[in-house]
């Protein structure tokens, strides 16, 4: 089983934090792999690395290119990743021919933004790894190297915010979702893609699951991610999961059947949730 690209495990200062979803402080062991482990909150069942590395250490990993040549990895897989992202946008119901203002958080080399820009979209990216420089220099894109919250984007600035394979890397996904809510226009959409801990492959492979990696601090299910989004002012409009068996783990015909079944049953390896930005809570209470 080939794992997703990850920083090599190293010893970092860690600390135990209350569950970011429910504030709970009681956890049970859940998944183990070489050098790290996950626990599950007994209250809301969110699977998390806890104790977890400090924010600064996590940030350094990505700024230094995941402890390896991350840009080369991104470039080598760019066409495949772009195709997956375009399929995901279609699954999310986004018509790329209708130009909007979009923020792609974790945009890597900016391949998707370049395509959208060519169709008339107003494009901004956030990418803290060295891939940002490539996106700026080679593609002329507006890509910011600071983490989302530090860019101080104006209120209600974007029609659409994308975060593909980002939220599971963050120390505080709750603060991240709140910030996305702030910068989206009312009625704007947030499309989150992340590995699905409740999917077939996660259940089958447990600690050997390709997404159980040092860099993933949270492993969401549709339930836990939906709860996070609704708690921060989003209405869940669409949920999709896909991926039944990883490439190379089964003959192609078997993989095709497994992929179709996983998507239909909602037990795919990766999930996508489209949330619609509702008015902020303070606005609601003021209107009463």
Chain residues in the site for Zn ion (CB under 5 A): 19, 21-22, 24, 41, 43-44, 46
* Least distance from Zn ion to the Cβ atom of residue 210, Å: 25
Closer residue to Zn ion in complex, CB, 24/51: 24
* Least distance from Zn ion to the Cβ atom of residue 228, Å: 10
> Do 165 and 140 contact (CB within 8 A), yes or no?
no
* Least distance from Zn ion to the Cβ atom of residue 45, Å: 7
Closer residue to Zn ion in complex, CB, 44/261: 44
Closer residue to Zn ion in complex, CB, 98/230: 230
CA distance 109 to 138: 9
Sheet of strand 122-126: strand arrangement: 143-144, 122-126, 101-105, 158-164, 184-195, 270-277, 234-242
Q: For residue 250, give every residue at least 6 positions away whose Cβ sits within 8 Å of its Cβ, in sequence order, or none.
A: 258
Cis peptide before 258 (omega within 30 of 0): no
Burial class from Cβ neighbours inside 10 Å (0-12, 13-18, 19+) for residue 13 reads exposed
* Least distance from Zn ion to the Cβ atom of residue 224, Å: 8
* Least distance from Zn ion to the Cβ atom of residue 42, Å: 8
> Do 241 and 266 contact (CB within 8 A), yes or no?
yes
* Least distance from Zn ion to the Cβ atom of residue 88, Å: 27
Closer residue to Zn ion in complex, CB, 40/277: 40
Closer residue to Zn ion in complex, CB, 19/126: 19
- Residue 28 in tokens: 């049970």
Kindly report the backbone phi and psi dihedral angles of residue 192, in degrees, each rounded to the nearest multiple of 5, phi listed first. Answer: -110, 130
Nearest to 39 by CA among 26, 27, 53: 27
Closer residue to Zn ion in complex, CB, 46/88: 46
Sheet of strand 36-41: strand arrangement: 27-33, 36-41, 47-48, 218-219
* Least distance from Zn ion to the Cβ atom of residue 54, Å: 21
Closer residue to Zn ion in complex, CB, 22/250: 22
């Amino acid at each position: 089983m080939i794992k997703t690209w990850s920083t090599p495990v190293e010893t970092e200062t860690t600390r135990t934090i209350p569950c970011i979803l429910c504030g709970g402080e009681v956890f049970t062991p859940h998944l183990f792999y070489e050098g790290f482990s996950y626990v599950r909150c007994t209250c809301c069942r969110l699977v998390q690395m806890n104790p977890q590395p400090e924010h600064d250490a996590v940030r350094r990993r990505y700024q230094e290119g995941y402890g390896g040549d991350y840009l080369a990895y991104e470039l080598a897989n760019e066409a495949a990743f772009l195709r997956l992202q375009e399929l995901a946008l279609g699954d999310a119901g986004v018509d790329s021919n209708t130009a909007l203002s979009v923020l792609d958080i974790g945009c890597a080399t900016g391949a998707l933004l370049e395509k959208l820009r060519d169709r008339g979209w107003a494009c901004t990216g956030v990418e803290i790894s060295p891939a940002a420089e490539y996106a700026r220099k080679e593609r002329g894109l507006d890509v910011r190297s600071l983490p989302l919250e530090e860019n101080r984007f104006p209120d209600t600035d974007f029609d659409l915010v994308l975060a593909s394979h980002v939220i599971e890397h963050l120390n505080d996904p709750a603060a991240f979702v709140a910030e996305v809510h702030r910068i989206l226009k009312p009625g704007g959409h947030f499309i989150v893609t992340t590995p699905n801990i409740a999917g077939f492959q996660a259940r089958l492979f447990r600690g050997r699951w390709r997404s159980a990696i040092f860099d993933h601090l949270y492993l969401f299910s549709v339930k836990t991610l939906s709860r996070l989004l609704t708690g921060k002012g989003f209405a869940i409009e669409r949920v999709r999961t896909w991926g039944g068996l990883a490439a190379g783990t089964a003959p192609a015909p078997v993989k095709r059947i497994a992929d179709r079944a996983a998507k239909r049953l909602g037990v795919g390896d990766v999930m996508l949730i489209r949330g619609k930005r509702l008015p902020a809570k303070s606005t609601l209470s003021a209107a009463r």
